[in-house]
A = this chain, B = another copy of it.
Amino acid sequence: MKNIKMKIARIERDMKQEDLAQVVGVTRQTIGLIEAGKYNPSLKLCIAICKALGKTLDELFWEETP
């Protein structure tokens, strides 16, 4: 599923996909694919994204689907 929360957090910080990619040390495509929900990033990358966007794992990557 698409990660809309991550996209919103990025836009709140006025960052392009490419900006975020550069900060966390991956390519623009990787960020785009994660936001599009096309895969399944590593924990390390998730944490790097959270720190770059000033959020926690739960805030960006946790879904309350019982």
Q: Are the C-beta atoms of B61 and A43 separated by less than 8 Å?
A: yes
Classify chain A's interface size. 10 to 19
Measured between alpha carbons, how far is A56 from B61 in the docked complex, in Å?
10
CB distance from A37 to the nearest CB of B (A): 11
Given contacts A57-B57, A62-B56, contact A42 B44 (CB under 8 A): no
Cβ-based interface call for A46 (8 A)? yes
Measured between alpha carbons, how far is A57 from B66 in the docked complex, in Å?
15
Cβ-based interface call for A12 (8 A)? no
Q: Are the C-beta atoms of A43 and B46 separated by less than 8 Å?
A: yes
Measured between alpha carbons, how far is A35 from B44 in the docked complex, in Å?
15
Q: Tell me the nearest residue of chain B to A3, going by C-beta.
A: B43
